[in-house]
Amino acid sequence: MSFTANSVFFTLKVSVLLGSLLGLCLGLEFMGLPNQWARYLRWDASTRSDLSFQFKTNVSTGLLLYLDDGGVCDFLCLSLVDGRVQLRFSMDCAETAVLSNKQVNDSSWHFLMVSRDRLRTVLVLDGEGQAGGLPPPGG
C-alpha cells in the first residue's frame, strides 16, 4: 500500500486534532484506592504564577496537591480538612496556612486556583479569594 505526502499529512492532522479535542474532555479520576497519584512537571512559582484545576469529591479528608523544593524548606500543600480546602505553604522557610470557608465535599465541581506574586499567595475557591500572608522577614 502506498501513501502520498498529502494523505500522511491529513492523517497526522486529524490525529492531532482529535487528540487535542479529546484532551479537553479527559481528566484524572481517583477512586479512593491506596497509592493513586499523578506526577507533573515542577511548578515554577518564584515570582508570579497561577496554578488552577477543577475537582469534585464527597470525602472530607485527603491530599489534593503537594510540591516542594526537594525537602530543603519550601513547600505547597493543598488538602481537604473537615470538608474544606486547606492551603499550607512555606517560602524562605516561613510557614503559613489558609483554610477555606466553603465546604467542598458535596460531590459538586469546584474551581481552585493558587496565585503567587512574590511573597503574596492567594487561594481562590469558586471565585472567592483568601490571602495567605507571610510574616515580615525577621518577625
User: What is the domain-level CATH number for residue 79?
Assistant: 2.60.120.200
Give the chain's domain count: 1
Cα 80 to the center of its chain, rounded Å: 13
pLDDT score at 134: 53
At 111, list the grid cell. 474551581
Q: Is residue 125 part of a domain?
A: yes
Domain contains 122: yes
User: Could you give the C-alpha distances from 68 to 56, 92, 117, 137, in angstroms and in order?
Assistant: 24, 12, 17, 21
Please give the residue range of the domain that contains residue 69: 48-132
Residue 104 lies in a domain: yes
Contact 110, 54 (CB under 8 A): yes
Residue 121's identity, in one-letter code, is T
The answer to whether the predicted template modeling score (pTM) of the entire model surpasses 0.85 is no
In tens digits, the chain (139 residues) has pLDDT values of: 444 444 343 333 343 444 444 444 456 677 767 777 776 666 666 678 888 889 999 999 988 888 888 878 888 899 999 999 999 988 778 888 999 999 999 999 999 999 888 778 889 999 988 776 555 444 4
Would you say 118 and 48 are in contact if contact means Cβ atoms under 8 Å apart?
yes
